[in-house]
Structure 1
Amino acid sequence: MPELHDISERRASLSAEQRARLKERLRGASAGMQQQAGTSTIPPRPHRDRAPLSFAQRRQWFLWKLDPARTAYHLSGGLVLGGQLDTDALRASLQALVDRHESLRTVFREAGDGEAEQVIREAVEVALPCIDLSTLDADARDAAIRREEHRIRAEPFDLTHGPLMRAVLLKTDARTHRLLVVMHHIVSDGWSVQLTLDELAALYAARVHGQAAVLPALPVQYADYAVWQNQWLDGGEGERQLVWWRDQLGTGQPVISLQTDRPRNADGRYGSARVTVALPGDTLDRLRQSAASEGATLFMALLAGFNALLFRHTGQTDARVGVPIANRNRADTAGVVGFFVNTQVLRSQIDARTTLAQLLVQTRDTAIGAQTHQDLPFEQLVGALRPERSLSANPLFQVMFNHVRRDHRSLAEWPGVSVERLDFEEEDAQFELTLQTLEFEDGRVEASFLYADELFDRETVERMA
């Protein structure tokens, strides 16, 4: 499942001296925003059974209405469970997750005025079908696993009826199971994926031990946040942040023109493929040292490198890259499953004389400025800047960079069961090109280039990597 990592967390990894330098740059520009964000409390919504859509959900609703069968916004993944699995405890744990998080009980409908709203169901029963493949021979079993994995991931969601999370358990031999889970992005995001993994482990362990799970109380639910977000941004904060973004991005919104091996489709729909490379340890050491010397993070150094790569392949001196952020800068949203993630558009201005050191400083300052104006929804930015719209190109940016950190600690908390994370390749490409860098607990980094299969030959992307 895709994971998203907030710039604020990357900032926490800096040394004390680096944080002090960063704090000095943030002082003044961010003071008002941080005071407002830190002290504002999200109140309970007036109607418990319904709420308006958040700004991010509005775009997802529009995209689903446009193409209900598209799978690009399905979050899918799973776990390989080895040992004596208590399937009843697993089913009960999944039910407890759904009972705890309203987003997993939410569907969507158009109200009488034509506006969409989210409807929170009081109770939703979790279905966990168990398919026994253990009696098949190895070849037939492998084929059946691939078939079931494709089926659960490719089946469209009906946002008006739900459920918007589905799961299936595959028994592959006497002591091995595969738990496959798919959620629609309109009710979840990468941070939520990590939450569900952590809470599922705690709920399962408590159930197996005959105890009540001790999970922190949720001060708010996602629908409370959606009501608050609409009111807060309408109250003037949205306009204040928009002023900064207008100044940052300017009036022209250039489209990145990557040289493709085949013509683009008119509808902008493509299958997804991937090229992955491991970054050498000595290269990572130099990157971290260069970043530290400029008060920057590894994320900023990697993004600067990606900007340089785009300049080399396009020759464009003004480029924009989409960068997802967790958008969880309020403590009461940290433990809530929902679609909080926001996408920022980070601009780079490069020419043949720009050094990598200069580009790193520019990238650092742009990222810091964006972090202090992170609450403006991407959808509002698009509406305000009014870029030329086309089905063949995403508005404001056409390539994405996502830096991800993996946290596998909860996988060791399943009693009597060994657990491995199960990731799937994306079937539909959201963008023509995405660079996803995956940072592991031991400091290793893998870089994956996700690309539109119909546009690029694999050899082209391998040369880019």
Structure 2
Amino acid sequence: LQIVYRHKNPSFRYEDIRGREHAVAEFVAQDKAQNFDLSKDALMRVTVFRTDDSSYRFVWSFHHIVMDGWCLSLMTDEVFGAYFALLENKQPELEPVKPYSDYIEWLEHQDAQEATRYWSDYLAGFEQQTLLPGENTQASVIGRNEEPDRNGGSSNAGYVSEKLPFMLGKERSAALNQMAKQQHVTINTLLQSVWGVILQQYNNNQDVVFGGVVSGRPADIAGVENMIGLFINTIPVRICSAPDATFAEVLQRTQEQALASSVYDTFPLYDIQALTEQKQDLIHHIMVFENYPIGQQMKQMGGSGETKVQTGFSIANVALAEQTNYDFNLIVVPDEDISILLEYNALVYNR
């Protein structure tokens, strides 16, 4: 259920903090700790600190229900488009908005029965849980016939977010991209398959399931790529292979399943989970492919040298922080040097 207010004051704050270096770090820590109350809060907070005579720090926080990562570049394009127009004493021209309600209407016309049938078949025969060896989970829960830990290693004590970023290197990334081309699969399929094989080893089982995040923007909605809103969905990714299967066979099967699943990837995860005996324990962690390098885009907009003269500013030190409700997230940014970020709950997994 989505309620959209006709009038809602945004949360905007401006403060001059010159001479108080620690103020920004303190504010960011407090802002991250402050939840959004969906019933009464503004779901987006914008703060601008003046840190020096000609430098500012911009902090932008929002609840994920408002929009997904794809929207970040749409929003910043509009902001800077308006800014550059005002610099030239012109009236900013904004494109007509494609309403999010078009997407809601489209969703209501989807065949839920057909989607239910697809996901039931997709997960048929999957009887165990796919777990990662965790700090606070016992090794025994990995055994196929053991009674699984009901929390699946999810800590009820809270969430302490830790990050472990690394790059695969240009040489290795080029080899992976080359392999994907040769096998006629996407790099997404290739890395999902690699991860599936690793999970098979750790779970001592040829049949594993993890969550995959999809963009959820159906091509048959006109202008969907310019809509602001929450479209992403998490769907199960099942890597099931015969013990003697070649990796090429695993790749082909993963690719075929990805194409078949894409038709039903807007079906809600809670409805998919309800079809299984594991229910909300079906998925313990997610793999995300991010195709919107917002930091890179910001730097290009601010620019340096010639661009800086035209725009009057440069942008540096762009940092993003987000947290899911999963204790382990594997985030991939595909590029000529593929970067991988492991984000995890330190109360469940140690470094």
Partner SS state of residue 40, structure 2: coil
Q: How many residues are matched?
A: 324
1:303 alignment partner in structure 2: 192
Matches of 1:269 and 1:253, distance apart in 2? 28
Partner of 2:315: 419
Matched, 1:159 2:38: yes
AA aligned to 2:240 is: Q
Which of the numbers 344, 347, 350 marks the counterpart of 2:235?
Answer: 344
- The reply to whether residue 319 of structure 1 matches residue 193 of structure 2 is no
**Where does 1:99-248 land on structure 2 (aligned, <5 Å)?**
118-136=2-20, 141=21, 143-219=22-98, 221-230=99-108, 232-233=109-110, 237-248=111-122
TM-score by length of 1: 0.65
Contact kept in structure 1, 2:158 and 2:347, CA below 8 Å: no
Cα distance between partner residues in 2 of 1:229 and 1:122: 23
Please list, as runs of the form range in 1=range in 2, the aligned pairs for 1:270-289 lying within 5 A after superposition.
Answer: 270-289=159-178
Offset, 1:320: 1.1
Structure 1 stretches of 4+ with a deviation exceeding 4 A read none
Alpha-carbon displacement from aligned partner over 1:326-346 (angstroms, at most 9, x marks no partner):
111223322221111111211
Counterparts of 1:271 and 1:429, CA distance in 2: 12
Matched letter for residue 437 of structure 1: V
TM-score after normalising by structure 2: 0.84
What residue is the counterpart of 1:328 in the other structure? 217
Letter of the 1:422 partner, please give it: V
Q: Which has the higher helix share?
A: 1
Q: CA deviation at 1:424?
A: 3.7
Q: 2: CA distance between counterparts of 1:210 and 1:331? A: 33
For structure 2, which runs of at least 5 residues remain unmatched after alignment?
138-152, 303-310
Quote the sequence identity (%). Answer: 21
Provide the rounded CA distance (Å) in 1 between the counterparts of 2:320 and 2:127: 34
Deviation at 1:249, TM superposition (A): 1.3
- The 1:266–1:280 alpha-carbon spacing in structure 2 relative to 1, beyond 3 Å, is closer
**CA shift in 2, pair 1:351/1:177, >3 Å:** farther
Residue 375 to residue 207, structure 1, CA distance change in 2 (3 Å) = same
- In 1, the alpha carbon distance for the partners of 2:247 and 2:125 equals 27
Give the Cα separation in 2 of the matches to 1:412 and 1:261: 41
Structure with the bigger RCO (C-alpha within 8 Å, sep 6+) is 1
CA contact (8 A) 1:278 1:446 kept: yes
Distance 1:180 1:453 in 2: 25
Is the 1:429–1:451 Cα contact (8 Å) retained in structure 2? no
Query: C-alpha displacement at 1:269, in angstroms?
Result: 4.0
Say if 1:404 and 1:265 are closer, same or farther in 2 by CA, change over 3 A.
closer
